[in-house]
Amino acid sequence: MLHLITKWIEKYSKWLGIPLVVVMAMVGFSLAIIKPAAIAQFELKSLDFRFLARGELEPDPRVAIIAVDDNALSEIGRWPWSRDKIAEVVDKVLGQYGAKALGFDMVFSEDQTNVMDEALRLLHKNMADINGDSNAIEHMQWLEEQRVFGDVDAVLERTLSQHKDKLVPGYFFYPQAGNNAPDLVKNQLEEEAALMRSLAMTSSFSKEALHSLPHIAAIEGNIPRVTKAVDAIGFFNFFLISMVQFAAFR
């Protein structure tokens, strides 16, 4: 938007006079920074019309989308899928199908519950009913021994590490405007920022982006063991994609 306003001012500056040009430039710059709701809505609508006017583009045959759609849910089960299932998909796509790279537009922001721990919790909860039951005690001992097999996050971590140079796990930003970030995510901002600082950052900003970058309220990232297992991470927010190219590499 700022670019369009600037071009219009440059085109008609010799008729408008310098004072008016300065005032309009200041107004245009302010609107680009503040982006009132009405203008932001108009910009989104204009973007819709521009896409319609452009028409549908032929997709690149080298790119495929792995969709979690109704068919996938019917075959595998409700979402979210277990992390070992995600690991199986990653291994098949990069190994069996020979994909050159795989990016995620989903976030693994929380540890998955260890099924062995959950079984132990339920047994402990009912200890009063099973007190003295030798079978129950043996079951608890067996579950304790099997805890490592219930850690499906470890399965995903190992798979990501095996393909770390071909993977880009995703994360996204919560903008300061209309901030609706969960408190837990806000409290983890420093931790997420520290993980990013441990990577080498590369970024490219358009001229418009320099004046329009929103303030970030929080970062929704992956659990550390996922982020540390790969060589690169990338965001998938729409409100930044058109203005900024940003990636982090180890």
Domains of the chain: which residue ranges?
Answer: 2-54, 70-111+156-249, 115-150
Tens digit of pLDDT at every position of the chain (250 positions): 555 666 666 666 555 555 666 666 666 666 665 556 677 677 788 888 988 999 988 989 999 999 999 999 999 999 999 999 999 999 999 999 999 999 998 999 899 988 888 877 877 776 655 555 667 677 777 777 778 788 999 999 999 999 999 999 988 887 765 567 777 777 777 777 777 766 655 555 555 554 555 567 778 889 989 989 998 888 887 554 444 444 445 5
* pLDDT value of residue 12: 60
Structure tokens at 39: 């203008």
Task: Annotate 137-155 with b (16+ C-beta within 10 A) or e (fewer).
Answer: eeebeebeeeeeebbbbbb
What is the pTM for the complete model shown? 0.66
Contact 233, 170 (CB under 8 A): yes
Residues 6+ apart with CB under 8 A from 56: none
